[in-house]
Chain A
Amino acid sequence: MRENRRRFLHSAAALTGGTLLAGLTGSQARAAQGADLPLGVPPWTKQLGPGVDAAPYGAPSRYERDVIRRNVPFLTATTESSVSFTPLQDLDGVITPNGLCFVRDHGGTAMVDPVQHRLMIHGMVDRPMVYTMADLMRFPSESHVYFLECAANGGMDWRGAQMQGVQFSHGMVHCCEWTGVKLSTLMNEAGVSSKARWLLAEGADAAAMTRSIPIEKAAGDVLVAWSQNGERLRPENGYPLRLIVPGWQGNVNIKWLRRLKFGQEPWETREETSKYTELMADGKALQFSWAMQAKSVITRPCPEKPILGRGFCEVSGLAWSGMGKIARVDVSFDGGANWKTAALQEPVLPKSLTRFRIPWEWNGEVAYLQSRAMDETGYVQPTIVALRNAWGSNAIYHKNSIHTWRVNQNGTIDNVQID
């Protein structure tokens, strides 16, 4: 219900007029205001606002109160093992504000006291170690911008178009600047055995989440992070410490990280056997499909942000790849028959969200908008039909197909799938 209501709200804000001025074009707003013309002096011009100490930690304008994470109540039995979605339709650029980053918890949000928190490193190491947060923050640190996407992002649309809104069809992704110490630094510190092939990462939450990571990735670009977008991690994103495994499915990026154990075999945990594996049509399942492959979606227009009128319409969206940089994004306005290459907003960073934009003249007719990402490895985002032909419809995870928005004659947008 909430999803439909939200869809309604955004559509109505744009199109029904009345007092919904925020979403109206200038001429519509003028018509709606009527007797208020000529423009009056608004109350905030005629009185003092609050002082600088009114909001020691700032919050968005009250008029932005519908820019929030949302969940889909029917998806899961409880909200503790569930997900909330990033409102991609309301965001510009590529950085996700911390309070809007999607949340996937498996045992609720652990409320960890950083003074009591410890990170243990043991197993096949010369020197098993325990670190406090203060210890960890003495190490040399790095900051990098990386997207983080739940492996199940888009999974609700595997069988057909089901989510009327980009928040729900693509909102299990966010992108932050992460700060922490390289895992390789800590591995060197503990003296990881040359015979160790795998790493088990464990969280301190009520799910005690565990995933196995191959040593090659661990020794590469993985961060043990304590900050996102310049401030300490939010509790729901792993405060005070989490793993950042760039480009890999979100579940591997263990939140509330408390333990790293080195060994020779993968642990075959519940989260990498019964979950986060992709069941194919023939009954076989793919396992350890870690990297999120190239994907893109148009975030404006979208069901929540319909087109307000004929004429110029900037089409904008996000592209990302767990394999590296986005090399190109093409956009089609006719359901994939013809494509034009969109402009990419600099900087284009590896394993980061990348913003694309392309100008369009909407003539008021039905149109089918699609975007198609290509990454620096040459991988091209597939169609839903191609993906289903290869994977079947029961994979749940790693659905990265080209997404189609139908523009209706009244400017509203629907989620559809086309052949």
Chain B
Amino acid sequence: MYKSISALALTLAAALVAGGAVADAGQRYGFGQPATPAEVRGWNIDVNGLTGAGLPPGQGSVAEGQKIFETKCSACHGDFGEGAGRYPALAGGQGTLTASRPLKTVGSYWPYAPTLFDYVRRAMPFPAPQSLTNDQVYAVVAYVLSLNNIVPGNASLDARSLAAVKMPNRDNFLASTWGHDTRPDLHTVACMKHCTSGPVEVISDLVSLHVTPPETEVGDAGSMVELQATPEHAKAGSAAATTVSFSQVQRIILQRCAACHAQKPTQPGFASAPMGVMLDTPARIAAAARQIDQQAVQSQAMPLGNITHMTSQERKIVGEWIAAGAKMK
């Protein structure tokens, strides 16, 4: 590109001078192209949740919305917005925000109705976003609001009526602004010596809780993290009172044994299962029942050094399953 080193140096020097000039406020570079009105229209889909600005022409009724919802939405959100599996509920939960397990839905939590239009239009249905017409979006929004008893069952919504909807939880948000943070100030002091008295008191112990990801149900998929600290199964004193299920045993074995005892151990350093014992499928677990009994229930030689914290309760469960015939169900 440059003919010589000296030409390069001259070019750099010129660039530095130019750089000094454009650093002045107000100087423009002029790159890019002006956006045409048509180009802006193509992407300008945002709706202001507070004011409803940007809501497009069109309308939709609760009845129309129900049909669309049952076709395109209910597989995840349930026929009546109750949610399916770990997908979020859209209705219900009003009055639960101060409960220990709040249910945050459109009706119980969302502060502004036009936000629902904006979100459905831009991001729903989850596998086919931006596939609904504006009329369809109005209809789905009307149906979801009716499920929450916010609009009547014979309602039809358009830009004006949707912007006028007042959501039940609207006044319960404390918004920070620039330079003003609404978070509680904790006034923490960085004490250095003798800051606490008495022995350490553990108030939540992951090991004793036995909380493991696959054993924990979660209610709100979108928020990801609404978990419980003390699931019922963790508090249960004895699982042995009832018949031990194979799934219980399988969970214990996979959790405590199968990192090494698998056809393809995930443990670096293990090219194959130690002693050829594989415990990574139901059939293999059942087939190895006698060895499991000897090693993990009777002698308790396994897991090595009990590095996986297999509990005596778990050994007991496994032992009862074996004593009952080690059945795979």
Give chain A's interface residues, CB within 8 Å of chain B: 1-5, 8-9, 11-13, 15-16, 18-22, 63, 65-66, 72-78, 80-83, 106-107, 120-122, 127-132, 135-136, 138-140, 152, 155-156, 158-164, 188-189, 200, 202, 206-208, 210, 214-217, 258-259, 261, 263, 265-270, 273-275, 277-279, 281-291, 293, 328, 330, 334-339, 368, 372, 374, 379-383, 385-387, 390-391, 393-394, 396, 398, 406, 410, 412, 414-419
A residues near B239, Cβ cutoff 8 Å: none
Contact with B307, one of A12, A285, A337, A368 (Cβ below 8 angstroms): A12
The residues of B with any CB-CB pair to A shorter than 8 Å are 19, 22, 25-35, 39-40, 43-51, 76, 85-87, 97-98, 100, 102, 104, 106, 109-112, 115-116, 118-119, 122-123, 126, 129-130, 172-179, 181-184, 186, 188-197, 200-207, 209, 211-214, 216-218, 221-230, 251, 254-256, 258-260, 266-270, 274, 304-305, 307-308
| Alpha-carbon distance between A394 and B175 when the two chains are bound, in angstroms | 17
Given A107-B129, A265-B51, A339-B195, check contact A189 B39 (CB 8 Å): no
Query: A107-B123, A269-B119, A414-B206 known; A76 and B221 CB under 8 Å?
Result: yes
| CB-contact partner of B188 in A81, A287, A381, under 8 A | A381
Interface contact B225-A155, CB-CB below 8 Å: yes
Main secondary structure of the interface of B (DSSP, over half): loop
Residues of A within 8 A of B97 (CB): 279, 283, 285
Contact B255–A1 (Cβ < 8 Å): yes
A22-B268 CB under 8 A given contacts A161-B206, A284-B172 = yes
Considering residues A18, A75, A406, which has the most beta carbons from chain B within 10 angstroms of its beta carbon?
A75
| Known A414-B207, A417-B204; contact A3-B49, beta-carbon cutoff 8 A | no
Inter-chain pairs besides A12-B267, A74-B217, A261-B44, 7 sampled, C-beta below 8 Å: A21-B269, A132-B32, A139-B31, A161-B206, A387-B186, A396-B226, A418-B202
Which residue of A286, A379, A381 is within 8 Å of B176 (Cβ)?
A286
In angstroms, how far is the closest chain B Cβ from the Cβ of A176?
23
Q: Is the CB of A416 within 8 A of B28?
A: no
Task: Note all chain B residues with C-beta closer than 8 A to A122.
Answer: 35, 40, 44
Verify B213–A72 contact, CB threshold 8 A.
yes
Q: Which residues of B contact A188 (CB under 8 A)?
A: 25-28
A158 cross-chain contacts in B, Cβ below 8 A:
225
Known: A66-B266, A120-B43. A275 touches B223 (CB 8 A): yes
**Which residues on the B side are within 8 Å of A66 (C-beta)?**
266, 268
**Which chain B residues border A286 with CB–CB below 8 Å?**
173-174, 176, 182-183
Q: Are A386's CB and B205's CB within 8 A?
A: no
> Is B115 in contact with A372, judged by CB distance below 8 angstroms?
no
Interface centre among A2, A72, A217, A383 (most CB of B within 10 A): A72
A76 near B86 with CB under 8 A, answer yes
Given A16, A129, A330, A419, which contacts B190 in the complex, CB threshold below 8 Å? A330
Known A77-B87, A161-B205, A289-B183; judge A210-B212 contact (CB<8 A): no
Q: Which 3 A-B pairs have the closest CB atoms?
A: A160-B229, A268-B49, A159-B229
A351–chain B nearest beta-carbon distance, Å: 16
Inter-chain contact B225/A75, CB cutoff 8 Å: yes
Nearest Cβ distance between residue B7 and chain A, in whole angstroms? 21
